[in-house]
Amino acid sequence: MRFHRHRPRVWAAAVFVAVTSLATAALVPQAGATDRLVAAAQALPVEDDGADCPVPDPGSPAADSMLPDPFRKLNGTRVSTKSDWRCRRAEIRELAERSVYGEKPGKPESVTGTVTRTGITVNVRHQGKSAGFSASVDLPSGSGPFPAVVVYGGFGADTATIKTSGAAVISYDPFSVGREGTARNNKQGAFYSVYGAQSGTGLLAAWAWGVSRIIDVIEQSGGTILTADATGVTGCSRYGKGAFVAGAFDQRIALTMPIESGSGGVGAFRSIARESGAQPLSSAYSEQPWLGDAFGSYTGNPSSLPVDTHQIVGMVAPRGLLIMDNPHIDWLGARSGAVAALGGAEIYKALGAGGNITYWSDVQSGDHCAVRSEWRTPIQQHIQKFLLKTGSSSGTFRISSKKSANLSEWRTWQTPTLADGGTSGGTSEGTSGSTTGSTTGGGTGGDTGGTSAGTTGGTSGGSSGGSSGGTNDGTCTATYRTVNSWSGGFQGEVSVRNNGTSALNGWTVGMTLAPGQSIGNLWGGRNTGTSGSITVRNDPWNGNLAANGTVTFGFVAGGSSTAPSGITCTSP
């Protein structure tokens, strides 16, 4: 039995070969490739390049309180190559549509419209039904053509920074495509005019469909005003939920930037259900018809969901993703956002794109959807890298100690090393991230220049801002670096290297924090103690370290940025 998908599944052979080749090139960075060349290949020329993949019926999967293994295919085997991910992503998409969002149809029979320097019109016709909507355009200075960021609802996104970074702002009213305040059996807006008021598709998928139709029109416009291959999407709160779904479901979107998306957004459903103060899933489902009708049966039992949002994060991979969260408002569930981001980052890492994802919840102000100074530089750098294709910054994880997360508490699976040639795992990202971080010196630029080299990319040997060596027991060495620092806190990273000629089976790092320092969040290892003398042991998935191999763990701590002392590394 196969799922039935209401989107084109058969391509001309020449188109399929061309797209498959491009997809593979995007997923497999070649040895020696620069971040700029890798980033330039991330957005694909098609909305869904896995539309031809056969998706078997999974039946009724057993309930699981842990995050599902994103690398396990529906036939029970695991993804083993980067090229496997294309059809595994199609499986995740299908499951997400069926259980979470409702179906997001592909391109209608007819999409027409116009692009001017001030606006975009969209007109669609499908199976005898038609609808239309429009969006305004605000261009930056210069002659163009320009990349563009679709901004949901004109609320919360830093449009001034987008424009000064060199991208146009497309102000998109999602309510024209799917209105809030309607009953689930009487949904309204352009999407439902075409697909029916009783469609089981929720508003988030309907809004994402609208973004895709805007991109269709930009593609048809000839590229004299807006470029067709450099589109981003962003929004805050409910619009952050929408931006996240749009970026996950359209592979032409080069950069996705959800802000404070809360329950029903980035936050892992299984974690939301257990996070104190977070908006319950039942509340997010009933507040508005954001999520698909089918999700109602899972609100009280998210463990039965066949997918979770770390896999939706993985649907964006290897394209650019900047997730911004607010840890000061419990209702927004920022801890669950960090869980999903850390889980999704493992998919980025496996695809050799660890430097293409950033998660940032370390902000001072608790105001909801505020324009924040902490995010200005990351937004600029992401636009430069993924839309203008002139930047080479690497991703970072800045997780607030208020809402720390530990991925090891949420998974039983390990991240595979995927074959397919080129540089795999975290090696290329670690090299790039470390180099950039050491160049920028560990300040604001270093935050997004070198942090993710170790936290999500896998290997890192460089330093940004300062480093200190560790004791070598003849088998392993631990080396510390301060990745970045701010008033009242800092982020550190420790690289563990196997100096032996055979693989290690486990490692332990000891170190002493300076007075007043306290670890609020640690990833890539399991710590005993949070202040003073502490030990960090490997997670089950990173204890086996090949000869001359390197693995890292990172942490966020409060207090001064003084480097830990007495760093040691031992192995059994």
Q: What is the mean pLDDT of residues 125-143?
A: 97
Residue 287's CB is within 10 A of a number of other CB atoms, namely: 14
Output the pLDDT for position 220: 97
Query: Quick one: which of 75, 19, 73 has its CA closest to 44?
Result: 19
Residue 477 sits in the same domain as residue 334: no
User: Is residue 66, in this structure, part of any structural domain at all?
Assistant: no
Output the pLDDT for position 42: 66
Contacts of 198 (CB under 8 A, 6+ apart): 185, 186, 187
Give catalytic status of residue 368 as yes or no.
yes
Long-range contacts of 34-39 (CB under 8 A, 24+ apart): 34/392, 34/432, 35/355, 35/385, 35/392, 35/393, 35/394, 35/432, 36/385, 36/389, 36/390, 36/391, 36/392, 38/353, 38/428, 39/320, 39/356, 39/385, 39/386, 39/389, 39/391, 39/392
Query: Quick one: which of 315, 424, 341, 416 has its CA closest to 50?
Result: 315
* Burial class, 453, CB count within 10 angstroms (exposed 0-12 / middle 13-18 / buried 19+): buried
Helix (H) or strand (E) holding 35: helix 35-40
Q: Last residue of some domain: 404, 421, 445? A: 404
Which is it for the CA torsion 258, 302, 88, 32, positive or negative?
Answer: positive
Q: Is the peptide bond before 145 cis (omega within 30 degrees of 0)?
A: yes
Output the pLDDT for position 421: 45
Residue 470 sits in the same domain as residue 388: no
User: Is residue 238, in this structure, part of any structural domain at all?
Assistant: yes
pLDDT-derived band at 486, boundaries 50, 70, 90: low
User: Is residue 515, in this structure, part of any structural domain at all?
Assistant: yes
Q: Given 237, 261, 424, 464, which residue is catalytic?
A: 237
What is the Cα gyration radius of the chain?
Answer: 23
pLDDT-derived band at 473, boundaries 50, 70, 90: low
Q: Lowest-confidence range among 123-127, 485-489, 555-559?
A: 485-489
Residue burial 129-157, b: 16+ Cβ < 10 Å; e: rest:
eebebebebbbbeeebbbbbbbbbbeebb
Reading the block at residue 348, the tokens are 């980025």
User: 59-107: per-residue pLDDT in tens?
Assistant: 888 899 999 999 999 999 999 999 999 999 999 999 999 999 999 999 9
Give catalytic status of residue 136 as yes or no.
no
**350 pLDDT higher than 70:** yes
Residue 376 sits in the same domain as residue 514: no
Output the pLDDT for position 549: 82
Output the pLDDT for position 299: 97
Residue 290 sits in the same domain as residue 365: yes
User: Is residue 544, in this structure, part of any structural domain at all?
Assistant: yes
Q: What is the mean pLDDT of residues 534-558?
A: 83
Residue 475 sits in the same domain as residue 377: no
Contact yes or no for 549/460 (Cβ under 8 A): no
Residue 392 sits in the same domain as residue 473: no
User: 52-62: per-residue pLDDT in tens?
Assistant: 999 998 888 88
Output the pLDDT for position 541: 67
Output the pLDDT for position 6: 44
Distance CA 328, CA 334 (A): 8
Number of domains in the chain: 2
**216 pLDDT higher than 90:** yes
Query: Quick one: which of 115, 545, 414 has its CA closest to 570?
Result: 545
User: Is residue 27, in this structure, part of any structural domain at all?
Assistant: no
User: 512-545: per-residue pLDDT in tens?
Assistant: 999 999 887 777 788 899 899 999 998 776 788 8
Out of 6-10, 45-49, 466-470, 539-543, give the one with best mean pLDDT.
45-49
Reading the block at residue 78, the tokens are 């695991």
Output the pLDDT for position 257: 98
Residue 383 sits in the same domain as residue 504: no
Contact yes or no for 262/175 (Cβ under 8 A): no
DSSP 349-380: HHTT-GGGEEEE---S---TT---HHHHHHHH
pTM, rounded to two decimals: 0.73
Q: Last residue of some domain: 404, 423, 446? A: 404
Distance CA 110, CA 122 (A): 10
Contact yes or no for 249/239 (Cβ under 8 A): no
Q: Given 130, 136, 193, 368, which residue is catalytic?
A: 368
**488 pLDDT higher than 90:** no
Reading the block at residue 167, the tokens are 């991208």
Reading the block at residue 479, the tokens are 């080396």
Output the pLDDT for position 545: 84
Output the pLDDT for position 557: 84
Torsion on CA atoms 405, 410, 413, 416, rounded to nearest 10: -20
Output the pLDDT for position 444: 27
pLDDT-derived band at 150, boundaries 50, 70, 90: very high
**23 pLDDT higher than 70:** no
Q: What is the mean pLDDT of residues 282-304?
A: 97
- The percent of residues in the chain predicted with pLDDT above 90, rounded, is 70
Q: Last residue of some domain: 404, 432, 455? A: 404
Out of 152-161, 265-274, 429-438, 525-534, give the one with best mean pLDDT.
265-274
User: Is residue 22, in this structure, part of any structural domain at all?
Assistant: no
Reading the block at residue 420, the tokens are 């397919």
> Tokens 């800092």 identify what position?
490
Contacts of 555 (CB under 8 A, 6+ apart): 491, 492, 493, 519, 521, 522, 523, 527
Contact yes or no for 279/262 (Cβ under 8 A): yes
Residue 182 sits in the same domain as residue 300: yes
**438 pLDDT higher than 70:** no
Domain that holds residue 474: 466-572
User: Is residue 305, in this structure, part of any structural domain at all?
Assistant: yes
Name the residue with higher pLDDT: 299 or 457.
299
Q: What is the mean pLDDT of residues 264-281?
A: 97
Residue 175 sits in the same domain as residue 295: yes
108 CB-side CA count, 13 A: 25
Distance CA 494, CA 478 (A): 6
Distance CA 531, CA 518 (A): 5
Query: Quick one: which of 119, 400, 118, 380 has its CA closest to 257?
Result: 380
Contacts of 34 (CB under 8 A, 6+ apart): 392, 432
Q: What is the CATH number of the domain that holds 570?
A: 2.60.40.290
User: Is residue 442, in this structure, part of any structural domain at all?
Assistant: no
Q: What is the mean pLDDT of residues 395-400?
A: 94
Residue 375 sits in the same domain as residue 506: no
> What does the mean pLDDT of the chain come to?
84
Output the pLDDT for position 325: 98
Which is it for the CA torsion 231, 264, 301, 182, positive or negative?
Answer: negative
